[in-house]
Structure 1
């Protein structure tokens, strides 16, 4: 383990393995996946530098298996049952203060590992393989929930404790089963020499002329330097359109103007757009249409008359009574349960309703948006793929894009459409233009206005709302407020369309599954882009 001597400003750090009887109940730290092969040297100093690009692995040595500790907490349960109700509790300390505790969800590590492993090595930080392990998720939650603020620049003492816990249904937590401390020198704020940073030349693109407007170039240089130094991680592009013209265009991490970006749930908003077009064209009557107009629901599981009356509007606003919530891992309609099945439509229509829990309230429900896409696919001529090409993408001049498809070979409106950043900016600008592109009204102004209406308040998020598959929030920058509707996808992918400013911002990123992904996009907009532009 790292010794607790003062942290030096230079030099390597030394590591000892947690394997062996003398290390039972201990956690050791390493900069690579194998603590036994970590760097050691006679000149090495017992310290660790936490930068934006450093990795951190832990090796844990236990006296007994996790299952054995869980048995002490719930002796009446079978061994197989324990892995379904219990797991590790991580406790993160900085300078002697408890910052965050995280109860890992049952299931990872898997039951066999819980029952057999006495020693294991896993990453807390692995920049080359982010989001691959449950240990990384625990670290990311710690950083989002106080760790970022606690680990300020300079010297700190970090401590990690592991306990066992069960939830049956009350949570019961055991004693500490492993612990380790690490002296850190935090160096996450890079020195930025603005004279060495060059902004990319902006060139015209189909649909966008180059803006002649000025902006604070030093602020954008500082942003670019921070992205390149991984202060903001896995950003692939930042685009700014002002007054319908291209103002800022930067690419990172190997991306370029032609790269197709996987923006995940940003694609949900396209389902809203195509619903509006289909209603205008007469293929759908209105958002008040009910599911029983499209499906014979009685043959599906958990049928009640309530399913018949689920409206398209409730799917557009994520407020249906279907028992589905992606933020609840125990929800029967969680999207992760749908993906492995071979019939997503059946999965959706088999779901029970829970009118007591969901009585018009907003709940994040990917399966419902997939279901909306299925309705559209059957309603429009030639299927949704062809309809979107004819009615939306071709008029926008978007030729290079990729849909994902359901197992039934229907366009997946759950998310995942890919196109380049400037084409995503076209989509955002279409809404800034109230549905007009060039001399064509692609979506009615009324539909654009309905989509950008605060239909539902988002629980637990102050002053944030939901329209027709668009989010709403207000940023605050240098004493001014900036309301925006936006598309949002896993990894920190965003298309922002500002209400009172002629501004569209696109951010693409690949920080999939990481807790910082969305908050860093907020920082980029609030602390850099808005101050630089206005």
Structure 2
């Protein structure tokens, strides 16, 4: 009798397992498709999206050619929903706590080497999806630019090493998925799905002439350096730019001892091209304010906003607004409730652009009571608009004419292009367009401690304040007066640089202890790789090639 009961129990358990019933914390979607039942725990790769009802094992891609205007999707087959996996990490948590604090972790492995790991943002995917879904379709590459967190995940993988390792030829890409939960610490579970595919990266044929170091033609205002550079390094860099390993780079100029050392152009740009370097233009706002103070049109950067505006006439007035200084706008440390790093912030720049008056937008913002005045760095584009407006109102004939007379003409910069605010004031928040060599003049002006051709354009005192550690951003990263600061460590040596920075990897680097200025322009706006590839270019190529 006992033997019969045991046999019956085992049969029932086998039946329940075969029927797809499982012990669940929260009810998942049932496993009903044969393709799902036979591939639990697997990631299937496919080209164009195929509905699950029609999806067959013959549709699984074994290889994929990585090229433009193509599609790569993954379909993930799970045993249970994400919330059920998260429950195993924290059995005491409620379903709501699990969905609000957990998601998938993706690991990208290329040719056996772990390249990128990401804990997917908590907000990716709905609570309903996390609670129920046992099959996921995730578009990684989309010819129709399908909107999905998967696209951004792939771009981040590409920008964090994927682009480098997926060089010409064949590679084995593996993806592993785990659940993760962020409570007091980050908990990560075991692999719940994995898959692999052969990635074929086609050869990009290029004109070898484009790899050679470009000759520097004579030009007024600049001498040409005769110093040696590591030609092989620069040509290796040129090859990567030409083959689009590093994408959308338009120019690289290096100045050493006040002379042109390197002048390279790519992707249709040339010596006369005006480059939109986005927030690089913020540094020019600092320069113009410094000139206006030198000329005594503005007393000091310690002046407060209530000396320029009737702040009570704007919305959300509080007495603390009266003490906001120009310096706090220069150092991104004002108490305005504005942060470009927080998409939910009322003062985020994306909220400013559609408005009819950008100055009013800024001065109408409330004060953030959690911020300590002049002590907390928070990137705030709208503050630069107010600086520009103050300069515009304080100098003769407005900001545009003042900049031309007191900055551009003394530097013999005759060809440039401003963007304008809705009030037709030159935009000091960004998108001031110059040629690469003229940007180099701007950087060299700071290396020269404010002089150009024997004329003191900008005071040495202002240069010292601007290129100093006014604010700490993070460990090893600082901010001056609308200039950034960091130190590259290469071959045991430190190379400290102050720099102007713009979206997409646009830079003007001013070396602190070497007679070097480097300008890099790029059109990689709003890409995951734009900023990261510049770091590699500096670290692995430019600094080793031109420094002793």
TM-score normalized with structure 1 length: 0.77
Aligned partner of 1:397 in structure 2 is 412
Moved more, 308-317 or 93-102: 93-102
Unaligned runs of 5+ in 1: 1-19, 37-41, 77-81, 112-117
Are the equivalent residues in 2 in contact too, given 1:333–1:351 (CA < 8 A)? yes
Matched, 1:142 2:157: yes
Shift of 1:525: 1.6
Where 1:511 maps in the other structure, the secondary structure is: coil
Match of 2:441 in 1: 426
Q: Aligned residues, how many? A: 488
Aligned runs of 1:360-439 on 2, under 5 Å? 360-439=375-454
Farther-moved stretch of structure 1 (311-320 vs 179-188): 179-188
Contact 2:43–2:75, Cα closer than 8 Å, also in 1:
yes
**Counterpart residue number, 2:538:** 525
Is the 2:160–2:532 contact (alpha carbons within 8 Å) kept by the matching residues of 1? no
Answering whether residue 280 of structure 2 is matched by residue 252 of structure 1, we say no
Aligned counterpart, 1:506: 519
Q: CA deviation at 1:101?
A: 3.2
1:307 alignment counterpart: 321
CA distance in structure 2 between the partners assigned to 1:419 and 1:518 by the alignment: 20
Single out whichever of 270-279 and 469-478 deviates more from structure 2.
469-478
Q: Which has the larger radius of gyration?
A: 2
1-structure distance, mates of 2:226, 2:477? 34
Deviation digits for residues 352-378 of structure 1, max 9, x if unmatched?
212423441111111111221121111
| 1:477-502 deviations in Å (ceiling 9; x for gaps) | 22221111110111001000111111
Specify every segment of 5 or more residues in structure 2 that has no aligned partner in the other structure, as ranges: 1-31, 52-57, 85-92, 129-134
- Contact residue 49 and residue 185 of structure 1 kept, 8 A: yes
- Pick one of 34, 42, 47 that aligns with 2:63: 47
Instruction: Give the match's secondary structure for 1:182.
Output: strand
Q: Does 1:277 align with 2:291?
A: yes
Once residues 272 and 186 of structure 1 are traced to their aligned partners in structure 2, the CA distance between those partners, rounded to angstroms, is 48
The CA deviation at 1:123 is 4.5
- More moved, 154-163 vs 292-301: 154-163
Distance 1:353 1:279 in 2: 27
Q: TM-score of the superposition, structure 2-length normalised?
A: 0.75
Q: Does 2:172 align with 1:159?
A: no
Aligned match for 1:350, one of 350, 364, 372: 364
The correspondence of residues 471-486 of structure 1 with structure 2, limited to 5 A, is 471-486=484-499
Q: Could you tell me how far 1:184 is from its partner in structure 2?
A: 3.3
Q: Measured at CA, do residues 172 and 476 of structure 1 come closer, stay the same or move farther in structure 2, by a change above 3 Å?
A: closer
**1:478 and 1:97 mapped to 2: Cα distance?**
25
Task: Tell whether the 8 Å contact from 1:48 to 1:182 is kept in structure 2 after alignment.
Answer: no
SS in 2 for 1:239: strand
Question: CA 1:323–1:435 in 2, change beyond 3 Å: closer, same or farther?
Answer: same
- Deviation string 1:275-329 (CA, Å, 9 cap, x unpaired) is 0011111111101100001111123222111111100001111111112221122
Aligned-residue offset at 1:172? 13
Cα distance between partner residues in 2 of 1:306 and 1:518:
36
2:465 to 450, 467, 473: 450
Counterpart for residue 114 of structure 1: none
Structure 1 residues 96 and 251 mapped into 2: Cα distance closer, same or farther (>3 Å)?
A: closer
- Report the Cα offset of residue 158 of structure 1: 2.1
Q: Which moved more, 1:403-412 or 1:425-434?
A: 403-412
The alignment status of 1:289 with 2:303, answered yes or no, reads yes
Deviations 1:245-266 (A, max 9, x none): 1111111112111211111111
Question: In the alignment, is the contact (CA less than 8 A) between 1:92 and 1:142 conserved in 2?
Answer: no
Q: How far is the alpha carbon of 1:92 from its aligned partner?
A: 3.6
- Maintained 8 Å contact 2:338/2:345: yes
1:206–1:397 CA contact under 8 A, matched in 2: no
Contact 1:27 / 1:58 at 8 angstroms: preserved in 2?
Answer: no
Structure 2: distance between partners of 1:106 and 1:344? 30
Q: Judge conservation of contact 1:204–1:246 (CA < 8 Å) in 2.
A: no
Cα separation, partners in 2 of 1:440 and 1:520, compared to 1, 3 Å = same
SS at match of 2:313: coil
Question: What residue in structure 2 maps to residue 328 of structure 1?
Answer: 342
Q: Relative to structure 1, is the Cα distance of residues 162 and 340 closer, same or farther in structure 2, using a 3 angstrom cutoff?
A: farther
Q: Could you say what secondary structure the match of 1:298 adopts? A: helix
- Which residue matches 1:91? 106
CA–CA distance in structure 1, aligned partners of residues 454 and 286 of structure 2 = 22
Partner of 1:100: 117
**CA distance in structure 2 between the partners assigned to 1:471 and 1:60 by the alignment:** 43
Which residue in the other structure is 2:54 paired with? none
What's the CA shift for 1:134? 4.8
Relative to 1, partners in 2 of residues 1:274 and 1:234: Cα closer, same or farther, differing over 3 Å?
Answer: same
Instruction: Determine helix, strand or coil for the equivalent of 2:309.
Output: coil
Task: Give the distance between the partners of 2:426 and 2:77, measured in 1 at CA.
Answer: 48
Corresponding residue for 1:201? 215
Question: What corresponds to 1:13 in structure 2?
Answer: none
SS in 1 for 2:410: helix
CA 1:247–1:206 in structure 2 vs 1: closer, same or farther (change >3 Å)?
Answer: same
